[in-house]
Structure 1
Amino acid sequence: MKLSRYFQVTKPGITGGNLIATFGGFLLASQGHALDWGLMLATAIGLSLVVASGCAINNCIDRDIDSRMARTQKRVLVTGAMSVRAAFAHGLVLGLAGFATLAIWTNALATACAAFGYFIYVGVYSLWMKRRSVYGTVVGSLSGAVPPVAGYCAASGRFDTGALILLLMFCLWQMPHSYAIAIFRFKDYEAAQIPVLPVVRGISEAKRQIVLYILAFAAATVLLVVGGYAGYGYLAVAVATSLWWLKMALAGYQPAVDDRRWARQVFLFSTVTISALSVMMAIDGQVPAHVGWVL
Structure 2
Amino acid sequence: MSQSKSVRSLQHVQWRDYLELCKPRVVAVMLLTAIVGMFLARTELPPWHLVLWATIGIGLASGGAAAVNHVLDNKIDEKMYRTRRRPLPQGRLSQQQALVFACVISVVGLTILALLVNPLTAVLTLLALLGYAVVYTVYLKRATPQNIVIGGIAGAAPPMLGWVAITGSIEANSLLLVLIIFAWTPPHFWSLCLARKADYQNAGIPMLPVTHGETYTKIQILLYSLLMVATTALPYLTGMSGLIYLLGISILNIRFLHWGWKVFTDVSGSQMAMFRYSIYYIMWLFVVLLIDHYSMGLVFGL
**TM-score band (shorter)?**
over 0.9
CA contact (8 A) 1:52 1:94 kept: yes
- Deviation, structure 1 residue 253: 3.4
1:200 deviates by: 0.6
2:19 to 3, 7, 31: 7
User: Structure 1 residues 204-213 or 33-42, which shifts more?
Assistant: 33-42
Q: In structure 2, what is the equivalent of residue 268 of structure 1?
A: 276
Deviation at 1:113, TM superposition (A): 2.0
Consecutive unaligned residues in structure 1, runs of 5 or more:
288-295
Higher relative contact order (CA 8 A, sep 6+): 1
| Residue 48, structure 1, aligned to residue 59, structure 2 | yes
Contact (CA 8 Å) 1:66, 1:78: kept in 2 or not? yes
Query: In the aligned structure 2, how far is the partner of 1:28 from the partner of 1:212?
Result: 29
Tell me whether 1:151 sits opposite 2:162 in the alignment. yes
- In 2: Cα distance, 1:203 partner to 1:108 partner: 44
Q: Which residue of 1 aligns with 2:136?
A: 125
Paired residue total: 283
Aligned to 2:223: 212
Residues 53, 117 of structure 2: 8 Å contact kept: yes
CA distance in 1, matches of 2:180, 2:38: 15
Give the alignment's TM-score, normalised by structure 2. 0.90
User: Could you tell me whether the CA contact under 8 Å between 2:131 and 2:154 is conserved in 1?
Assistant: yes
1:246 paired with 2:246, answer no
CA distance in 1, matches of 2:164, 2:247: 26
Aligned-residue offset at 1:43 = 1.0
* Residue of structure 2 equivalent to 1:89: 100
- Tell me how large the CA RMSD over aligned residues is: 1.3
Among 37, 58, 72, the residue aligned to 1:25: 37
State the alpha-carbon separation in 2 of the partners of residues 120 and 35 from structure 1: 28
Indicate conservation of the 8 Å contact 2:21/2:98, yes or no: yes
For the 8 Å contact 2:39–2:45, the answer to whether it is kept is no
> What residue identity is the alignment partner of 2:31?
L
In the other structure, the counterpart of 1:137 is 148
Please state how far the C-alpha of 1:244 moved relative to its aligned partner: 1.3
CA contact under 8 A between 1:120 and 1:139: conserved in structure 2? no
Instruction: Identify which of 232, 235, 239 aligns with 2:243.
Output: 232
- Residue 111 of structure 1, CA deviation: 1.8
The Cα of 1:33 is off from its aligned counterpart by 2.2
* Partner SS for 2:88: helix
Q: How does 1:45-194 map to 2 (within 5 A)?
A: 45-194=56-205
Q: Please report how far the alpha carbon of residue 157 of structure 1 lies from its aligned counterpart in structure 2 after TM superposition.
A: 2.1
Q: Matched residues in 1 for 2:263 and 2:96: separation?
A: 44
Change (3 A) 1:93 1:277: same
The alpha carbon displacement at 1:188 in A equals 0.7
Poorly superposed stretches of 4+, deviation over 4 Å: none
Task: Quote the Cα distance in structure 2 between the aligned partners of 1:253 and 1:137.
Answer: 19
1:181-201 superposed Cα distances (whole Å, 9 cap, x missing partner):
101111111110110111110
The aligned amino acid for 2:101 is H
1:293 aligned residue: none
- Partners of 1:257 and 1:243 in 2: how far apart? 17
Structure with the greater alpha carbon radius of gyration? 2
Unpaired segments of 5 or more residues in structure 2? 1-12, 298-302
| Residue aligned with 2:89, SS | helix
- Cα-to-partner distance string for 1:147-166 (whole Å, 9 max, x where unaligned): 11101111222212101211
Q: Hey, what's the Cα distance between the residues in 2 that align with 1:90 and 1:208? A: 41
Distance in 1 between the 2:277 and 2:26 partners?
16
